[in-house]
Amino acid sequence: MRRRRDPRVVVLVVAAFAVLSGVVVGMAARWPTAGIVVSFVLVSTGAVVIADNPPMRNAFREFCLRALRSVCSPLVTDRTPQPEPSDAESAEAHLKRAGLLVECDAGPVPSVAPAFERAWRQRILSMGDRSRDEAVLAGLLTVPQRLVELEWNADEEALVATVHGTRAGQWPSRAAFVADVTAIAEFRDRYPEWWTLSPTVRGRALATLRLCLDWCPTCDGTIHVSQIDHDSTGTESVLSATCEGCAACLFEAGPDPVQFTDPRRPDADAEA
């Protein structure tokens, strides 16, 4: 039967190991060759102690395995490109999960959540007139205001924003611009996932919110949503959201990018 090693011997060996480790550091600094020899002796002594002590041997083995896994796991990865989860979902799904859209009993199109709508409206009211638009956009983009320009492009029928001469965005009206910049400002607290989405999904999310609005951000008029057919067959049609008070266009695009589960039923007068 194998005789069990006296624990006091193990303690003394470990203590000696610690003392000699300090000696090695000093010797390695002045006499590298001597430091290497002493290091070899210390490693050999430690190996004998670990091999003769089962609990210590098991702990050392587990430590080595954990170290090996931590080093190798980043190297063993699936190199097959995977689509980002944020791009695989519709804008409506993102907004619902964030609690910004809720189901509407009156129809298939969701409504803006009341709590978010109240906060959103407060931000819209704080915008003031168009003289502060560039300052608000500059603050949102965290760039100097002198680098930001907002101009109406008559050829494109769009409000175009440029930053340092580079186009940064465009909107079909100032009402759409106000809706977007104030919604993004509110997202900082209510929709942190927004900052991880791709630019395409961000644009769709903002367009979806505008399409779900019942009131105009600039004049508080009623929003009229309709489907406009550009040909007699109806194959080229767009969904349009326009203010009945100031005629500002908040949204105009094909129904597909918005990806409602069940598109809004067009108004009767739009079909006529």
Please report, as a single letter, which amino acid is at residue 205.
Answer: A
Residue 77 inside a domain? The answer is no
Residue at which a domain ends, from 72, 100, 124? 72
Q: Which of 18, 46, 72 represents a domain boundary (last residue)? A: 72
Check whether residue 167 and residue 256 sit in a common domain. yes
Q: How many residues does the chain have?
A: 272
> What's the confidence (pLDDT) of residue 128?
84
Domain-embedded: residue 80: no
Is there a single domain that holds both residue 158 and residue 218? yes
257 and 135 fall within a common domain: yes
Cα 53 to Cα 7: distance, rounded to the nearest angstrom: 10
If asked whether residues 182 and 209 sit together in one domain, one would say: yes
Looking at residue 144, what is its pLDDT? Answer: 94
What tens digit of pLDDT does each residue of 147-161 get? 999 999 999 999 999
Q: Which residues of the chain have pLDDT under 70?
A: 1-89, 105-109, 229-237, 254-272
User: Tell me, what's the pLDDT at 22?
Assistant: 59
Q: How far apart are CA 64 and CA 189, in angstroms?
A: 44
**Residue 106 counted as domain residue:** yes
The verdict on 23 and 144 lying in the same domain is: no
Residue 82 lies in a domain: no
Strands (E) across the chain are located at 101-102, 111-112, 148-153, 158-163, 166-171, 223-229, 237-243, 249-253
End residue of a domain, out of 47, 72, 97: 72
d(CA 180, CA 83): 27
Does residue 148 share a domain with residue 53?
no
Range of the domain at 48: 7-72
Residues 48 and 135 in one domain: no
Q: Listing from the earlier edge strand, what are the strands of the sheet with 158-163?
A: 148-153, 158-163, 166-171
Distance of alpha carbon 194 from alpha carbon 95, whole angstroms:
9
The pLDDT value recorded for residue 80 is: 36
Question: Do 67 and 176 share a structural domain?
Answer: no
To the nearest whole number, what is the mean pLDDT of the chain? Answer: 72
How far is Cα 92 from Cα 111, in angstroms, rounded to an integer? 11
- Number of structural domains (the chain) is 2
197 with 260, same domain? yes
* Per-residue pLDDT at 71: 38
- The answer to the question of residue 241 being in a domain is yes
Q: Can you give the pLDDT at residue 35?
A: 55
Nearest to 137 by CA among 111, 160, 109, 108: 160
The answer to whether position 236 is within a domain reads: yes
Residues 19 and 118 in one domain: no
Q: Is 236 in the same domain as 117?
A: yes
pLDDT number for residue 103 = 82
Q: Are residues 149 and 214 in the same domain?
A: yes
Q: Is residue 156 part of a domain?
A: yes
Q: Residue 136 falls within a domain, yes or no?
A: yes
Q: Please state, in angstroms and as integers, the Cα–Cα distance from residue 83 to each residue in 3, 7, 35, 75, 201, following that order.
A: 61, 58, 54, 21, 13
